[in-house]
Amino acid sequence: MTDTPEYTPPKVWVWNKPSGGRFANINRPIAGTMHEKELPVGRHPLQLYSLGTPNGVKVTIMLEELLALGHKGAEYDAWLIKIGDGDQFSSGFVAVNPNSKIPALLDRSGPTPIRVFETGAILVHLAEKFGAFLPTEAAARAECLSWLFWQMGSTPYVGGGFGHFYAYAPIKIEYAIDRFAMETKRLLDVLDRRLGESKYVAGPDYTIADIAIFPWYGGLTKFDQYGATEFLAVHEYKNVQRWADMLLERPAVRRGRMVNRLSGEPSGQLHERHDASDFDTKTQDKLAAAS
Ligand SMILES: N[C@@H](CCC(=O)N[C@@H](CS)C(=O)NCC(=O)O)C(=O)O
């Protein structure tokens, strides 16, 4: 085991110094509004305030899938929330999500706007609203919701645990990396075994469980999330690879991954989406060529 500095916790923890590491500037022990600013509102029924992270991408994939099915009521404006700049602490954003995390959805299709936060709640809200990607038969619905909530419960160990200590923490702590690499590999194995017996996560059909799980576990296996492809030996998870490749064939998945994205190839970054045509005209490469 490597040596890490000795630390004896004080009797009462106090916030007296930045914690260090990536994202330390936005971590704080208090909730609520940090500055006054309203959110913009566009012309579509659904207003999404987000960023192209794995959590944000779940919702843009869902919306693109609904539009691909012909649900015009799923038209949306996707506004960029730069969490590195603290946009999630504005009065407008906190009113839509008191937890100050992207993504947050404002459903303005009815007489009174409905706010929805937490991706699990957003995916269920949209699935029930449009009657899509959530089976109605009891056993199939239970299987889908079980895997959906498996993602919600398990991913903090992958992102906040493994990703944080492997890629973002200011020091490498062997104990923490071991602890969360073990859990991340166990979770990949859970998913791999499931996908060895089932075409999609919840059964024979594509559902919101796949939409929620893909950006995280597909990210680890296909997109070198946290630079950990080799470290986690992701090639071992053959069924996850097969499933992720299959999802990547879907045009709606490819479009959803582009929305609110601030990194990667300019042609894959659509910072804001207000119209279906934006994918053809407003990606960063197109905007650069036009200016
Ligand atoms: N459980 C939440 C997680 C959302 C979340 O962690 N969002 C991150 C980006 S991926 C965020 O907004 N972080 C900003 C912050 O922590 O201040 C969900 O599923 O919606």
Ligand 1 neighbourhood includes 154 CB (under 6 angstroms)? no
At 259 the pLDDT is: 98
At 239 the pLDDT is: 98
Beta strands across the sheet bearing 76-80: 76-80, 46-50, 104-107, 114-117
Which DSSP symbol is given to 106?
A: E
d(CA 185, CA 191): 10
Residues whose CB is less than 8 angstroms from the CB of residue 256 and which lie 6 or more positions away in sequence, other chains included: 57, 60, 61, 62, 63, 64, 65
| Residues in a beta bridge with 48 | 78, 105
Instruction: Walk along the chain (291 residues) and give the pLDDT tens digit of each residue.
Output: 555 668 899 999 998 876 777 777 788 899 999 999 999 999 999 999 999 999 999 999 999 999 999 999 999 999 999 999 999 999 999 999 999 999 999 999 999 999 999 999 999 999 999 999 999 999 999 999 999 999 999 999 999 999 999 999 999 999 999 999 999 999 999 999 999 999 999 999 999 999 999 999 999 999 999 999 999 999 999 999 999 999 999 999 999 999 999 999 999 999 999 999 999 999 999 999 998
Phi/psi at 144 (5° precision): -65, -50
d(CA 257, CA 60): 7
Contacts 24+ apart (CB under 8 A), 232-235: 232/181, 232/184, 232/185, 232/188, 234/188
Ligand 1 neighbourhood includes 58 CB (under 6 angstroms)? no
- The pick from 26, 88, 93, 102 for probing ligand 1's pocket by mutation, whose C-beta has the most ligand atoms within 8 angstroms, reads 102
Residue nearest to ligand 1 atom 13, measured at CA: 101
The residue type at 101: K
Q: What is the CA radius of gyration of the chain?
A: 20
d(CA 32, CA 90): 9
The Cα-based distances of 18 to 15, 24, 165, 188 in angstroms read 8, 6, 16, 33
pTM for the full model? 0.96
132 Cα: distance to centroid of ligand 1 (angstroms): 25
At 55 the pLDDT is: 98
d(CA 59, CA 122): 7
The Cα-based distances of 221 to 62, 192, 239, 245, 256 in angstroms read 21, 11, 11, 10, 18
- The pick from 22, 94, 101, 119 for probing ligand 1's pocket by mutation, whose C-beta has the most ligand atoms within 8 angstroms, reads 101
d(CA 191, CA 183): 12
Ligand 1 neighbourhood includes 225 CB (under 6 angstroms)? no
Ligand 1 neighbourhood includes 151 CB (under 6 angstroms)? no
At 6 the pLDDT is: 83
Ligand 1, residue 102: give the atom nearest the CA.
Answer: 12
Ligand 1 neighbourhood includes 118 CB (under 6 angstroms)? yes
Residue nearest to ligand 1 atom 18, measured at CA: 118
Which DSSP symbol is given to 273?
A: B
